[in-house]
Amino acid sequence: MYARVVRFTDVTAERISEIEARVEQEGPPPGVDASGVELFVDQGQGTAIFVGYFETEQKMRDASAVFEQMDPSETPGTRASVDLCEVKVQRRSS
């Protein structure tokens, strides 16, 4: 499994609400074949971390190209960093 991890700054509660509604209604953007997504928000710092999960490295890279073309107004804030990762450990308690 692979993950695209993006850190954002200058995040507002209003922007997060808009993104939550859009993702719930529309799902991922066309061309993004994600197996899952997570959005972590620290409202006190005005930051967010988006994690998109992908079955293959190629699907992650294809999605990354789509995300890089997105208008900044469609993102939670200002992109501070982008990492394309292979997931080595993922564990959840029951």
Alpha-carbon distance of 42 to 54, in angstroms, equals 24
Q: What is the pLDDT of residue 15?
A: 92
Would you state the torsion angle of the CA atoms of residues 85, 76, 16, 9, taken in this order, to the nearest 10 degrees? 90
pLDDT at 37: 92
pLDDT in tens, the chain (94 residues): 999 999 999 999 999 999 899 888 988 888 899 999 999 999 999 999 999 999 999 999 999 999 989 888 788 899 999 999 999 999 988 7
Instruction: Quote the pLDDT of residue 28.
Output: 84
The alpha-helical segments, DSSP class H, found in 1-94 are: 13-26, 57-68
Q: Is the separation of the CB atoms in 58 and 84 below 8 Å? A: no
Is the pTM of the predicted complex or chain greater than 0.85? yes
Task: Check residue 91 and report its DSSP letter.
Answer: -
Closest CA to 63 of 16, 93, 25, 27: 27
